[in-house]
């Protein structure tokens, strides 16, 4: 049985004197207008990368990674360097040898920005609280805003618009689902999330998202998939949840995106995944390798969307 559809309300409006964004701790640190301008900039930077080659000359950013990473780490490092800046890397727990607030204040003196991929969202919040430089959430347990910037760029490239599209997210109500609801929802995308009972998105975040966009939460994949322009899934067991793997595997099996489930969306629907994918679990090989899979377009756009984000936050 479907859960109640959260109430639709008007999209947030940009104010004439809207201040420039200074950080990306949660998706809502970027206004709707700021996201729209960022998408336009990302498109220009993708088409004419050399035009922006010295945009961050003399700027140095710290990349703090508590979790392993391929796309996030490499695309941020490449983005910074391709814009003429440079990055220093630190891998490991940020609050291991000293408090987060001390790490933050050191980096505040040395660098012009922090990109952090962490286990707990409170680490991102603490980094931001103790610095005067931009802090970018490159993934936490609650949000994955940089991934969703690339996702909406990919959606817009494919369909030529965002308003009026429907995106079905099938699987775990995790950080990716949260950021999709908060960001895509504000841009006119109907985000429908289908999860097993007990794995729904954070209720407070879902309520927050529903204040600015059309959000559906359901246990029925067919409801989410009906009329969907995009079908999105993610791993069933995220880093840090390994002890739950067996239980999750059983709970999520009916939510695998195979050819039959994919066929319940529109005939021209695209398949999306933030990667890495566990083929044979949340998605079958047939679907992820199909001509309608755009997973590597998403991965490519991590680079371009993050270039635009860096320039937006670090420009004078």
The CATH number of residue 308's host domain is 3.40.50.1370
Q: 153 with 58, same domain?
A: no
Domain count, the chain: 2
181 found inside a domain: yes
Range of the domain at 124: 27-144+300-314
Q: Strand pairing of 215-218 and 190-194?
A: parallel
Residues 129 and 158 in one domain: no
Q: Residue 249 falls within a domain, yes or no?
A: yes
pLDDT at 10: 32
Q: Do 195 and 87 belong to one domain?
A: no
- Alpha-carbon distance values, 81 to 54, 254, 291, 294 (Å): 9, 43, 32, 26
Using CA atoms in the order 303, 12, 178, 73, what is the torsion angle rounded to 10 degrees? 20
Question: What's residue 96's pLDDT?
Answer: 81
CA-CA distances (angstroms) from residue 44 to 49, 122, 240, 255? 8, 34, 37, 37
Considering the domain boundaries, does residue 5 fall inside one?
no
> CB-based burial of residue 223 (10 Å sphere; 0-12 exposed, 13-18 middle, 19+ buried)?
middle
Whether residues 174 and 52 share a domain: the answer is no
Q: What is the pLDDT of residue 153?
A: 98
Residues 174 and 76 in one domain: no
For residue 183, give both structure tokens.
């960001």
20 is a domain residue: no
Residues 272 and 133 in one domain: no
Say if residue 254 is in the same domain as residue 213: yes
287 and 172 in a common domain: yes
The answer to the question of residue 2 being in a domain is: no
Based on the fold, state whether residues 43 and 133 are members of the same structural domain. yes
Query: Would you please indicate which residues are annotated as catalytic (active-site) residues?
Result: 117, 144, 147, 234, 274, 302
pLDDT for the residue numbered 315: 86
Q: Which residues pair with 88 in a beta bridge?
A: 62
pTM for the full predicted model: 0.93
Residue 112 lies in a domain: yes
7 found inside a domain: no
Which stretches of the chain score pLDDT less than 50? Answer: 1-15
Q: Are residues 274 and 160 in the same domain?
A: yes
Is residue 251, in this structure, part of any structural domain at all? yes
Same domain? 114 vs 161? no
Residues 131 and 173 in one domain: no
């Amino acid at each position: 049985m479907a859960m109640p559809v959260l109430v639709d309300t008007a999209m947030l409006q940009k104010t004439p004197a809207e201040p420039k964004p200074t950080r990306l701790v949660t998706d809502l640190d970027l206004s709707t207008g700021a996201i729209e301008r960022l998408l336009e900039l990302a498109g220009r930077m993708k088409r004419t990368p050399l035009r922006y080659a010295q945009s961050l000359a003399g700027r140095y950013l710290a990349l703090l990674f508590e979790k392993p990473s391929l796309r996030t780490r490499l695309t941020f490092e490449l983005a910074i360097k391709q814009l003429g800046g440079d990055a220093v890397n630190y891998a490991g727990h940020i609050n291991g040898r000293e408090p987060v607030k001390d790490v933050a204040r050191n980096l505040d003196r040395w660098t012009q920005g922090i990109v952090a991929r962490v286990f707990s969202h409170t680490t991102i919040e603490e980094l931001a609280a103790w610095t005067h430089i931009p802090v970018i959430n490159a993934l936490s347990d609650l949000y994955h805003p940089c991934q969703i910037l690339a996702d909406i760029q990919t959606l817009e490239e494919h369909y030529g618009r965002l308003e009026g599209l429907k995106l079905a997210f099938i699987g775990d109500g995790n950080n990716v689902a949260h950021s999709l609801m908060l960001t895509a929802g504000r841009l006119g995308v109907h985000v429908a999330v289908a999860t097993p009972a007990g794995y729904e998105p954070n209720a407070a975040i879902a309520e927050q998202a529903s204040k600015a966009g059309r959000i559906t939460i359901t246990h029925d994949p067919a409801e989410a998939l009906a009329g969907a322009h995009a079908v999105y899934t993610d791993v069933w067991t995220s880093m840090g949840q390994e002890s739950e793997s067996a239980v999750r595997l059983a709970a999520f099996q009916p939510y695998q995106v195979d050819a039959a489930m994919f066929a319940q969306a529109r005939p021209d629907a695209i398949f999306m995944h933030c990667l890495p994918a566990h083929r044979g679990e949340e998605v079958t090989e047939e679907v992820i390798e199909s001509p309608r899979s755009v997973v590597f377009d998403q991965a490519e756009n991590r680079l371009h969307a993050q270039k635009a984000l860096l320039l937006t936050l670090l420009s004078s």
